[in-house]
Structure 1
Amino acid sequence: MAGGMKAVPGRRRILGALLLLLLPPPLGGAGVGEEVIVLQEGSECCHNTSRHFCYTNVRSPCWRDIWTRMQIWVNSNHVIRVTQVGSEEELRELEESKVWNFLSSLLKEKLNSTNIDMDLYSNKTCLKVELLEAGTRYCIVLSRWFDPKLFLVFFLGLLLFFCGDVLSRSQLFFYSAGISIGLLASLLILIYVMSKAMPKKSPVYFLLLGGWSFSLYLLQLVFKNLREICKSYWQYLLGYLLLMGFVSFGVCYRYGPLENERSINLLSWALQLLGLALMYLGIQIRPIALALVLIAVCTKNMDYPLQWIYGVYKRAQSARLGPSPPRLLTEEEYRIQGEVETRKALEELRNYCRSPDFSAWTAVSRIQSPKRFAEFVGGSSHLTASEVSFHEQEYGLGGEFLEEQLFEEDEEEDFLYGETARAACGPTTRLTAD
């Protein structure tokens, strides 16, 4: 006590945090009661101080805006911090909250340029631009335009939904999807493979969760800086794509495409659900998006209710009219059906003779030509060449059977012609005799 009291280290940390929270706002910081600048579509405004901006949407979305996107572009010559809120009240609360300012300074990403997507149904969108360096000048522009990416997302969803059954059984789709997943989630796959070699009671689940989050963060950074990466580090990018592509292909080749029917059905259903989600996300007008999703579902499954309705209609019609007489076959249909059924019956007979249930010795002891029977079971014709020739002579073109049929038809025609002529000339003969 004589030497005086020493400050506790924990208290120093608390005092330091309080001082940080009470620091003044960043360079060019906006005051609490600062005027909010109203943004207009298509007009660009440039500033060199921290400002608040708001846009009030007075236009109701219509069917022409299904693939329309609204964005606020912010471009600056130095790094800035942009915070988006929903109203002017939230802007004032954001300005008054020192704790939020301190946390956002640590967590909020600092960018030279950014774009903010706006919902067509939102009434108001506000944002706060903070300068971090002196001499910073930035420009803000609000634009509305037709976005072909939304159309591509909708078309991809439509393709996945209607072709999910075919894609789930396609080997090309299996390898393409496997390689794509391997390229995009290589870090997560590496952590999963490492978890197989770890004990079961290790904190591998936390590693998996952290690996997934870290992978998403890396993917976000890569897509934001993809152009710069392709320009400056194309060698490393090409090496990564080749390496992970070969590794992913090897893993897919090792396990092979799906063969189990239930697994194929699960993949097909997953692709269809993903397709419906992409269709809904690709349309900006929500009622139209929901209507198109319902139409797609009904169109894909329309055959089931139509078949049921047609079956009910046929049953009601048959019950009202009674059983209809069977249709008779034409000569050509009779001949074709006879050939088809004969070949089918002969093939069934061969299969039965090859089965273990068939007693070969009993059959051989009862037939006259065992060799011919063995050739028939082996796949040869059940007719010999002489039998085929005899059949052609009897029943083919120019055969005796056909000639007899033709002669009988000619005799019947002559008889009918004579009877008709006699009936026509009978009354005239009687009148002449009288």
Structure 2
Amino acid sequence: MHQLWVIYLFTFAGVFSSAASIVNNNVSILKPNSIFDYQPRLQRNRFFETDLHTYCYNATYRDIIKFFQSLELHLEIEGGDYTQYEGTTPEEVMQNYKDKLSLWNFNIFMQKRTKLSLSPFEPKCIGIVSRKPYRLRLVLKWVDISRVLLLLSGAFMFWYARKLSENPLFYYITGIILGISLSFMIIIWLSSKFFQRRTLILIGGWSIGVYILQKILENLQVIVVTYHIYVFWYIITTGVIAFLFSYHMGPPKNQRSKDIMRLLMQLVSFVLIYFSSHLKEASVGACIIVVILNFC
């Protein structure tokens, strides 16, 4: 009897895979500030037929004047009845589609993002399967303010790391920020452990954590506006606890502890500067320039 069920299972998997492999893969080239409006077909020739539409962006040439340039891909669609598949080429997108379609790679938390940050200097493709209409926009930012702030913050932190490491106020502010951030990480970790012990064994605990974190970031504004009272009191409570712990420990007094804080801040500043541009060669050069100016 058990052998018969195994035969049925593999037969169904083979039929399902072969039927679902009937895919119409249409490829469109994305250009900066371009807009694509997708309208699903009203009728399909086969029951398992799927419309996979792949959108590809070809990388632009590298130039130092594009240091702060960035791209954002915006997907405007109602509801969550769609799936996404990423890759660097249309063939890679198709392969990811076939891999995720397999019963052995089943994952109910498939990645879905309505806003995707792209590098202007690297090719990128994204495939979308949807039975609902949607609009896709590729927005070009010649000067991304957030990356300008990353560069300025990194340079400021590196140059003033010694003074900040000896400032008690900066110590307490950093302790509060780290305490609030750590509390969020603990919640995500506990959530992953909770689901890992339940029936979702195929998914894996950290997939749950990443999924929850992704949804929180995507809907952060909605969460803050809708549950602003709970968010306010959560931040206040965790901030007070972090301050009391920092106050109990006290600012570092010996020079070695201060040197460790200074080195850690300078390492963080390098990370901020490195991620301030998609042009990684130029961001590494910016790190070197900041170091040189610090000793001038």
Q: Same fold (TM over 0.5)?
A: yes
Q: State the match for 2:169 in structure 1.
A: 172
Unaligned runs of 5+ in 2: 41-50, 190-203
The amino acid across from 2:263 in the alignment is W
Q: State the match for 1:108 in structure 2.
A: 110
Measured in 2, the distance between the counterparts of 1:191 and 1:231 equals 21
Work out whether 1:41 is the aligned partner of 2:32.
yes
Measured in 1, the distance between the counterparts of 2:216 and 2:100 equals 32
Q: State the match for 2:159 in structure 1.
A: 162
Deviation at 1:214, TM superposition (A): 7.3
Deviation at 1:115, TM superposition (A): 1.7
Query: Do 1:157 and 1:278's aligned partners in 2 also have CA atoms closer than 8 Å?
Result: yes
Deviation at 1:184, TM superposition (A): 1.3
The alpha-carbon distance between structure 1 residues 21 and 54, as it changes in their structure 2 partners (threshold 3 A), is same
Deviation at 1:40, TM superposition (A): 2.6
The amino acid across from 1:256 in the alignment is G
1:23 to 16, 31, 34: 16
Which runs of structure 2 are paired with 1:47-66 in the superposition (5 Å)?
Answer: 47-49=38-40, 50-57=51-58, 59-66=60-67
Q: Secondary structure at the match of 2:2?
A: coil
Which runs of structure 2 are paired with 1:303-314 in the superposition (5 Å)?
Answer: none
Query: Do 1:182 and 1:189's aligned partners in 2 also have CA atoms closer than 8 Å?
Result: no
Q: State the match for 1:88 in structure 2.
A: 90
Deviation at 1:173, TM superposition (A): 1.0
Structure 1 range deviating more: 50-59 or 266-275: 50-59
The amino acid across from 2:66 in the alignment is D
Structure 1 range deviating more: 211-220 or 149-158: 211-220
2:2 to 3, 7, 10: 7
Query: Do 1:32 and 1:96's aligned partners in 2 also have CA atoms closer than 8 Å?
Result: no
Q: State the match for 1:182 in structure 2.
A: 179
Query: Do 1:280 and 1:293's aligned partners in 2 also have CA atoms closer than 8 Å?
Result: yes
User: How many residues are treated as equivalent by the alignment?
Assistant: 270
The alpha-carbon distance between structure 1 residues 228 and 188, as it changes in their structure 2 partners (threshold 3 A), is closer
Larger radius of gyration: 1
The amino acid across from 1:66 in the alignment is F
Measured in 1, the distance between the counterparts of 2:71 and 2:18 equals 30
Between structures 1 and 2, the one with greater helix share: 1
The alpha-carbon distance between structure 1 residues 191 and 226, as it changes in their structure 2 partners (threshold 3 A), is closer
Deviation at 1:38, TM superposition (A): 2.0
Deviation at 1:17, TM superposition (A): 7.0
The amino acid across from 2:137 in the alignment is V
Q: Deviations over 1:60-82 (max 9, x none)?
A: 12222111111221110121222
Query: Do 2:99 and 2:105's aligned partners in 1 also have CA atoms closer than 8 Å?
Result: no
Deviation at 1:57, TM superposition (A): 2.4
The alpha-carbon distance between structure 1 residues 84 and 37, as it changes in their structure 2 partners (threshold 3 A), is same
Q: State the match for 1:204 in structure 2.
A: none
Q: State the match for 2:120 in structure 1.
A: 120
Between structures 1 and 2, the one with greater strand share: 2
Q: Deviations over 1:214-240 (max 9, x none)?
A: 776654433221111112111111110
Work out whether 1:262 is the aligned partner of 2:259.
no
The amino acid across from 1:34 in the alignment is N
Deviation at 1:261, TM superposition (A): 1.3
Work out whether 1:284 is the aligned partner of 2:278.
yes
The amino acid across from 1:109 in the alignment is Q
Structure 1 range deviating more: 13-22 or 229-238: 13-22
Deviation at 1:252, TM superposition (A): 0.7
The alpha-carbon distance between structure 1 residues 98 and 121, as it changes in their structure 2 partners (threshold 3 A), is closer
Query: Do 1:72 and 1:115's aligned partners in 2 also have CA atoms closer than 8 Å?
Result: yes
Percent identity between matched residues is: 21
Measured in 1, the distance between the counterparts of 2:83 and 2:6 equals 27
Measured in 2, the distance between the counterparts of 1:218 and 1:183 equals 17
Query: Do 2:85 and 2:97's aligned partners in 1 also have CA atoms closer than 8 Å?
Result: no
Query: Do 1:39 and 1:53's aligned partners in 2 also have CA atoms closer than 8 Å?
Result: no
Work out whether 1:138 is the aligned partner of 2:134.
yes
Moved over 6 A (4+): 189-192, 210-216
Deviation at 1:191, TM superposition (A): 11
The amino acid across from 1:116 in the alignment is L
Q: Secondary structure at the match of 1:35?
A: strand
Q: Deviations over 1:249-308 (max 9, x none)?
A: 111111111112111101100101110121121023223222221111122234xxxxxx
The amino acid across from 2:78 in the alignment is N
Measured in 2, the distance between the counterparts of 1:245 and 1:17 equals 55
The alpha-carbon distance between structure 1 residues 183 and 12, as it changes in their structure 2 partners (threshold 3 A), is farther
RMSD of aligned Cα (Å): 3.2
Work out whether 1:129 is the aligned partner of 2:128.
yes
Q: Secondary structure at the match of 1:37?
A: strand
Work out whether 1:243 is the aligned partner of 2:244.
no
Q: Which has the bigger relative contact order, CA under 8 A and spacing at least 6? A: 2
Measured in 2, the distance between the counterparts of 1:300 and 1:142 equals 39
